[in-house]
Amino acid sequence: MQRITIGTRGSALARVQTDYVVGRLRLVHPGLDVTIRTFVTQGDRSQATNTPLASFGEKGIFVKELESALLSGEIDAAVHSMKDLAARLPDGLRIVATPKREDVRDVIVGSPLSGLPAGARVGTGSVRRRALLAQLRPDVTLVEIRGNVDTRIRKLHEGQFEAIVLAAAGLNRLGRSAQIAEYLDPEVFTPDPGQGAIAIEARSTDTDASQILRILNDLDTETAVRAERAFLAALGGGCQTPVGAWATISDGVITMRVAVADGAEIRRLIVTGTAGDPERLGTAAAVTIEKG
């Protein structure tokens, strides 16, 4: 395979992530001709209307157009934020590589949580973040926010919010980490499944593309994310489900912290298992936490 076409969204973060993947590809495959194609997704179009993400139900509104292009053969691979992918991929597609994960933590931009007065407006578009924030600071006002990272920070600076919640990974990749006022402890503020990870998706039958892209894979990141996504899939998780899952790997053992919000209650669980079967651990964690 002498050339490859990679699809991406057009947001600044999506392009930075894709440029990172392409840069690494060109280092390890110096003769490879790489073309980037940019797509506008349903999620991108909906941001202008400020429609709450939860109203879409299933995850995937930021990736469906790219997945359709993959299945039709318009592109050979797509680069996504892992947490944007649906828990179950369309038939014929698979994640062929997961580069080394960035920071998994959620962060506060604007003011640390402890510095916010009662009634302060905190912006987030995530039902998981809303549930966790409501437990930590039930006295603040949680307000829906949409848009890319720059748009959200602009709204903060315009005074629409006193603070907003974002992913550390996105800010780091965009060179905006100086904006972070507080890092939230992932043992308490459980991250989204796949947060901080990049997914490289290709057709299941395209062995040439898979071989070229697989060299970018980080095994520990892949294993952790497989456990987290199995947990999400077993719960039937989508945009409406307040679910957190964060797995780490040490000496062949996975330790995964999970959280599921049920009304005002947040059920938490820590599970461990062998790194050789992450899906089994994720599924078992979902069964256990559903039993209460």
DSSP per residue, 145-177: --S-HHHHHHHHHTTS-SEEEEEHHHHHHTT-G
C-alpha of 139 from chain center: 28
Instruction: Tell me if residue 84 is catalytic.
Output: yes
Q: Could you tell me if 33 and 5 are in contact, meaning their C-beta atoms sit under 8 angstroms apart?
A: no
Beta strands in the chain (DSSP E): 3-9, 33-39, 77-81, 93-97, 106-109, 121-123, 141-143, 163-167, 180-183, 198-203, 243-250, 253-262, 265-274
213 Ramachandran zone, left/alpha/beta (phi>0; psi -120 to 50) = alpha
Residue type, 139: D
Residue type, 221: T
14 contact partners, CB below 8 Å, separation of at least 6: 8, 79, 81
Task: Given the residues 44, 76, 84, 218, select the one marked as catalytic.
Answer: 84
DSSP per residue, 7-40: EEESSHHHHHHHHHHHHHHHHHSTT-EEEEEEE-
Positions marked active-site: 84
